Amino acid sequence: MEPVTLLVANDLAALPVLQAASTALVRAVDDSSGDAREIELVIEELFTNILKYEYLPGQRESIRVSFEIKDQVFDLKMRFKGVPFDVEYLQRCGYRAPGDPADDEGRGLGLELIRHFSDQLQYRNLGKEGQEIHLCRKLSACNDRVLPSLVDTDVSERPSAALRVIVRRMLPHEAAAVSRLAYFAFRYSYDYVEIYTPERVRQLNENNQLLSFVAVNDEDNCILGHGALKPDALSSMYEACIAFVDPRYRGKRIHSKIALHLLVELEKSEVSGLCVFAATSHPYSQKSASLMGLRETALFLSCVSPAELVDIREETQGRESLLFMAGRFTQKEWGPFYPPACHAEMVGWICRHLKMNVVLHDDVAESPLPPRGQLKQVTDSHKVGHLFVHHYANDTVSQVGRTLRKWRLDRLETVYLYLPLLQPPTAWLCCSFEEMGFFFAGLRPGFQGELWLVLQFLNNQRCNYDRLKAATSFGQALIEYVRKCDPVQEENETCKERSNG
């Protein structure tokens, strides 16, 4: 029999519809047994528990429910975007967390009614896709049904204990609490999608691919916030990332406490510096980065899909643009670097802003290039292309042009081009790339003292620079410089001048 799929609102009024659909399906196979009524009771218990425990007050979402009968087994799946928890760890360790906003008690899935009327029940975290409940029931009398027990969870009220915050490393059983806080702060809009899968958060920390730190109320161990360090993909720095606070505790300087603790951890490590990607739709992440001594080096326009910051109402600007901020370098001397003459002053300004001791040579004569160079192409899930020039050659400009045309046809939103400032050809070839439509984004430190000059290309987009928010005067100056370099903005200004003339 063909499966039946329904998309309903997270509203109790949808329950009779689900029950009627399941009953019609079961009775089409066997109208003589009591299976239909028992399945109705199971659906009622599952659906009401989802409504009670999986959503925040007033939250409106859709729930996808599918029924199928195959080999005399009723198969039910419910998919929804609710609050995640670490099923694997809880089942393995039998852990019962204390009662704070990110604990794992009260979810209500381990009810005796469901145990009695079901043969199998699985709860899965699907990352940004939410959760799935999968239930199976044999359509025949069966007295030995066994259901794996699932630990419950709840969203409790604000703890009444005094707020005395300490920051420490996340414990393995707290991965679920971190995933839930991400959900509370951003719903399922956060860019680092692995944060929504507690099992993955725990594994990354066990392998030191992610160093998670939590801010907790020392009085009752309630988890209030999270921040992390992870190796930067393009340098030997750490990236400070994945920072969020329980929305009910914003304004309590928890972000600041986490940021200062990350600096302490940084001093214990052997990495060469620290960096962060800070949102421009609001100034809060930039302020935290500034507190850590990080400075703006580049503006990456239209970089990711915007995160939905719960309880902070900012005007939606489509795709999010990010300010790259870096600092606290252990390296003392840099360069020599070879910026193009048109951007040499700005490159020097950014380097001084970063307190980098550099030597710049912008008056470089052209010289012969080898026949073969080296480029690297990377695309990501945000419809963004990254093109790295590792070594220049006679065909570098044409290779970049071909890649850009391909990515435009592939409908990538943005393309970033990374030019090595340690190599002299950057000084005279930059203008060739700008003739293709690339324009200045800023600087990005790399491995072994490298400094990338980053250019960017917006594919059929127009940036509204007035919506970009900067927390410092230098950040605002960098935004204005990028605006001036943007060829679309330059065309707009030319048109305005002609119309005014």
Q: What is the per-residue DSSP string for 177-243?
A: HHHHHHHHHHTT--S-GGGG-HHHHHHHHHTTS-EEEEEEETTTTEEEEEEEEEE-TTSSSEEEEEE
- Give the pTM: 0.72
Dist CA 430 CA 368 (whole Å): 16
Reference 198, options 66, 48, 95; nearest CA is: 95
The predicted-structure confidence for 311-327, as pLDDT tens digits, reads as follows 555 554 579 999 999 99
Strands 333-337 and 320-327: unpaired
The predicted-structure confidence for 257-286, as pLDDT tens digits, reads as follows 999 999 999 988 889 999 999 999 989 889
The predicted-structure confidence for 216-263, as pLDDT tens digits, reads as follows 998 888 899 999 999 999 999 999 999 999 988 888 889 889 999 999
Confidence (pLDDT) at 97: 38
Confidence (pLDDT) at 150: 38
What's the chain's average pLDDT? 85
* Residues 227, 231, 233: CA angle, nearest 5 degrees: 125
370, 394 in Cβ contact below 8 A? yes
Dist CA 165 CA 218 (whole Å): 6
Dist CA 255 CA 267 (whole Å): 19
**Residue 452 pLDDT > 60:** yes
The predicted-structure confidence for 196-229, as pLDDT tens digits, reads as follows 999 999 999 999 999 999 999 988 888 999 999 9
The predicted-structure confidence for 23-60, as pLDDT tens digits, reads as follows 888 888 776 667 888 888 889 888 888 888 788 788 88
Confidence (pLDDT) at 494: 55
Dihedral pair phi/psi, residue 275, rounded to 5°: -145, 165
